[in-house]
Structure 1
Amino acid sequence: MRILHTSDWHLGRSFHREDMLSHQATYIDHLLEVVDAEEIDLVVVSGDIYDRALPPVDAVRLADDALVRLAHSRATVVLTSGNHDSAQRLGFSARLIDAAGIHLRTDASRVGIPLVLDDAHGPVAIHGIPYLDPHAVAEPWQLERRSHEAALTEAMRRVRADLAGRPGQRSLVMAHAFVAGAAPSDSERDITVGGVSRVPTSLFDGIDYVALGHLHGSHVLDDHLRYSGSPLAYSFSESTHHKGSWIVDLGAPGTPLSTTFVPAPVPRPLARLQGTLEHLLADPTLTRHEEAWVEVTLTDEVRPAAAMDQLRRRFPHTLMLGFSSTRSLTGAPSAGDSRTQRDHDVARAFINDLRGQGPTPAEERLLDQAIDACCDTDDSGRESGDMLISSGGSQ
């Protein structure tokens, strides 16, 4: 049986306010091309189909289009819900949709009931385990502890109880969880419960293949235990990831797996750049990043004026700008100091501390106008200004 393992589509997600839907549609096109070209028998999608429980309409349309096209493909499809999905919404009409060869597994009460498919070597039991919220399953499953490990332990007990009645049959388990040995990125939603979110790899011992979802990087924890990762990058911490999916060839019982990583299309690469503004604007080796989504950390001792505007003239898709100066900042004047200074002087001192140099004459005039408009004070009096500064300038 030839299996395509993917997960974490996060349909409807944006990237620092950049719409990703067209890029996600490109991935769906790629997925269908792989199913056809590689003669895939089974597609497994291990959770987080959507980015949120109530997805936008355009994301629902894209998911509908993807499932209709997969239903008309050569492959059978199994999808499970992730921690970003609404299990109820994703699983709506699951029993009807089963008839089209699209199998939605979102109901925790049905864990342990497999989809069984046959190939030339006999049956394969596919157990799709949806994301299990420990608080939601603790009472119906009578868990002793409310933890991810306790919930998945019970889920795998149910899976093994089923497999015990299928001696010699091959098995595939889908799970959406944080399994020990893999590293998260910045874009996964924290699923920590009681300070513990990781589960041990030993929970999945004896399963022929475990298709994991939740982490956005591709990880091989064991030959039979893998994350596909998300097909697109959803944070700059994923700039070094290689996005894609796994093709898994499941042969006769007892034979080793054969796996191949299939890279996903990269609509726009990511780049993390650091240096002075002058260096970043002039360095010819950075030409390759001019069409990338860019995160910049400037190291100038004095913060350049209009830095983002200057950066975007060379790197038009700069999305994030930070500063990491080696100069020690003294900080704004203390409350005690401010009582003996005009508001205008406090503002000038703040600019000097921030930049390492005071405001320009034009900036001084603008600051004075803003302070005069807000504080209603003059050179000889501090009544209104004192009140504003002592209250944190909340007015």
Structure 2
Amino acid sequence: MRVLHTSDWHVGRMFHGRDLLADQESVLAGLADVVAGERVDVVVVSGDIYDRAVPSGEAVSACTRVLDRIREAGARLVITPGNHDSAPRLGAFAGFAAAGGLHLRTRVAELDRPVLLEDEHGPVALYGIPYLEPEPARHSLGIDATGHAGVLTEAMRRVRADLAARGPDVRSVVLAHAFVTGGAPSASERTISVGGVEQVSSSVFDGVDYVALGHLHGPQRLAEHLRYSGSPVAYSFSEARHRKSVWLVELDAGGLAGVERRELPVPRDLATVTGNLDELLTSPAHERLVDSYLSVELTDRVRPTDALRRLQGRFPHAVHVEWRPASGPLAASLRYATTVRDRSDHDVACDFVTDCRGAAPTERESALMREALAAVANDERAELARQRGSREAA
């Protein structure tokens, strides 16, 4: 049997205000070509199929079209919810969907009831463990153990017990949405920490042929049978070097026979660049970045005005700008308490303008701040006098 391991589609997600839906649908619809070309029997999605618990109508429509294409290409699907999904919404009409080859495993109470599929070697049991929020899951499972490790340990105990009862010839695949120790996070995952502990040991997942992990967005191998597929599209600049891909898992009569990477197309490259604004806008060396999503770090000594709009004149997909002057007051700024000690309000206000703008206020601006501070002080004195008069009258 051939299993295509995917996860973290996050359909409907934005990227620094840019709509990614068309890019997402293009990449995900291409999974149907992998299914047809590699003779894939089942596609698994290990959580976070949507980016929100209540996805937009457009996101649902795009996801439906993708699932239809995969199904038409000849694969069945098994999907579990992640921490971004709403398990009840995702699992609605699961019984009807299963009749068409879409298996939604969203209920904690049913995590040890596998989807059973057959190939020439016999049955394969696919167990879908939905994302387990520790405290609600602990009560649903009826255990005293706490935290992610506690609930996932109990979930896998139930999976192994069911698998053992089915006999030694049944091969197994587990879908789980979790942060396993040894995995490398990126900047685009939502934390699932509870009490400061979100990671679980890889040994929790011992005893099955393959574990299709979701949650971390970089494709990675923790063990031959224990892998993250990562997200199909980059969702942060920390993922610029990721090779977005899916895992093609082969099961033979003895269990796991092999795993191969299949890389996915990149709709638009991600890039970062550092320099002063004029150089970035004019240097031919940056022409290669014109079609990339771009994060820019500006080193101008004085903060440029309307920098993002000006950058987008040359780089239409520039989406993020930070100002980090290479020298000057901001680069050498002191701690706040040290900066304001024994200084007048006027001096502190002038320094604030200097730090924010990279240039000291003009004489006129300095005078305006002095007048404003004096007006505030007069208002405060008048309010204190009013309150004192009210108390004396009482």
TM-score when normalising by structure 2: 0.87
Q: Which runs of 5+ in 2 are unaligned?
A: 381-394
Q: Which position in structure 2 is the counterpart of 1:38? A: 38
Q: Which position in structure 2 is the counterpart of 1:246? A: 247
Could you tell me which amino acid in structure 2 is paired with residue 287 of structure 1?
Answer: E
After superposition, the C-alpha distances for 1:83-140 in whole angstroms (9 at most, x for unaligned) are 1100000000101111001000000100111111111222111111111111112123
Q: How does 1:79-158 map to 2 (within 5 A)?
A: 79-158=79-158
Q: Which position in structure 2 is the counterpart of 1:268? A: 268
After superposition, the C-alpha distances for 1:185-231 in whole angstroms (9 at most, x for unaligned) are 11111111121111111112231111100111101001111100000
**How has the CA–CA distance of structure 1 residues 34 and 334 changed in structure 2, closer, same or farther, with 3 Å as cutoff?**
same
Q: How does 1:286-297 map to 2 (within 5 A)?
A: 286-297=286-297
The CA distance in 2 between the partners of 1:236 and 1:46, in whole Å, is 23
Percent of counterpart pairs with the same letter? Answer: 47
Aligned counterpart for 2:374 among listed residues 364, 378, 382: 382
Q: CA deviation at 1:252?
A: 2.1
8 A Cα contact 2:122 2:169, kept in partner:
no
Structure 1 runs (4+) greater than 4 angstroms displaced: 330-333, 345-349, 385-388
Could you tell me which amino acid in structure 1 is paired with residue 205 of structure 2?
Answer: F
* Equivalences, count: 374
**How has the CA–CA distance of structure 1 residues 349 and 253 changed in structure 2, closer, same or farther, with 3 Å as cutoff?**
closer
The CA distance in 2 between the partners of 1:72 and 1:59, in whole Å, is 20
TM-score when normalising by structure 1: 0.87
Q: How does 1:204-283 map to 2 (within 5 A)?
A: 204-254=205-255, 257-283=257-283
Q: Which position in structure 2 is the counterpart of 1:27? A: 27
Q: Which position in structure 1 is the counterpart of 2:352? A: 350
The CA distance in 1 between the partners of 2:80 and 2:117, in whole Å, is 17
Q: Which runs of 5+ in 1 are unaligned?
A: 389-395
Q: Which position in structure 2 is the counterpart of 1:70? A: 70
After superposition, the C-alpha distances for 1:342-368 in whole angstroms (9 at most, x for unaligned) are xxx87554333444433579xx67x98
**How has the CA–CA distance of structure 1 residues 129 and 348 changed in structure 2, closer, same or farther, with 3 Å as cutoff?**
same
Could you tell me which amino acid in structure 2 is paired with residue 242 of structure 1?
Answer: R
The CA distance in 2 between the partners of 1:174 and 1:349, in whole Å, is 55
8 A Cα contact 1:91 1:105, kept in partner:
yes
**How has the CA–CA distance of structure 1 residues 149 and 346 changed in structure 2, closer, same or farther, with 3 Å as cutoff?**
closer
The CA distance in 2 between the partners of 1:326 and 1:50, in whole Å, is 41
8 A Cα contact 1:224 1:257, kept in partner:
no
The CA distance in 2 between the partners of 1:134 and 1:350, in whole Å, is 45
Q: CA deviation at 1:314?
A: 2.5
**How has the CA–CA distance of structure 1 residues 387 and 319 changed in structure 2, closer, same or farther, with 3 Å as cutoff?**
farther
Q: Which position in structure 1 is the counterpart of 2:173? A: 172
Q: CA deviation at 1:81?
A: 0.6
The CA distance in 1 between the partners of 2:99 and 2:244, in whole Å, is 32
After superposition, the C-alpha distances for 1:225-282 in whole angstroms (9 at most, x for unaligned) are 110000011111111111121111112215x532221222211111111233344334
Q: How does 1:278-357 map to 2 (within 5 A)?
A: 278-327=278-327, 328-329=332-333, 334=340, 337-339=343-345, 341=346, 348-357=350-359
8 A Cα contact 1:132 1:151, kept in partner:
yes
Instruction: Say which SS state the counterpart of residue 30 (structure 2) adopts.
Output: helix
8 A Cα contact 1:44 1:79, kept in partner:
yes
**How has the CA–CA distance of structure 1 residues 349 and 170 changed in structure 2, closer, same or farther, with 3 Å as cutoff?**
closer
The CA distance in 1 between the partners of 2:200 and 2:117, in whole Å, is 28
Q: CA deviation at 1:320?
A: 1.0
Instruction: Say which SS state the counterpart of residue 125 (structure 1) adopts.
Output: strand
The CA distance in 2 between the partners of 1:225 and 1:151, in whole Å, is 19
Q: CA deviation at 1:384?
A: 3.5
Instruction: Using the TM superposition, name which of 96-105 and 238-247 deviates more.
Output: 238-247
8 A Cα contact 1:331 1:354, kept in partner:
no
Q: Which position in structure 2 is the counterpart of 1:181? A: 182
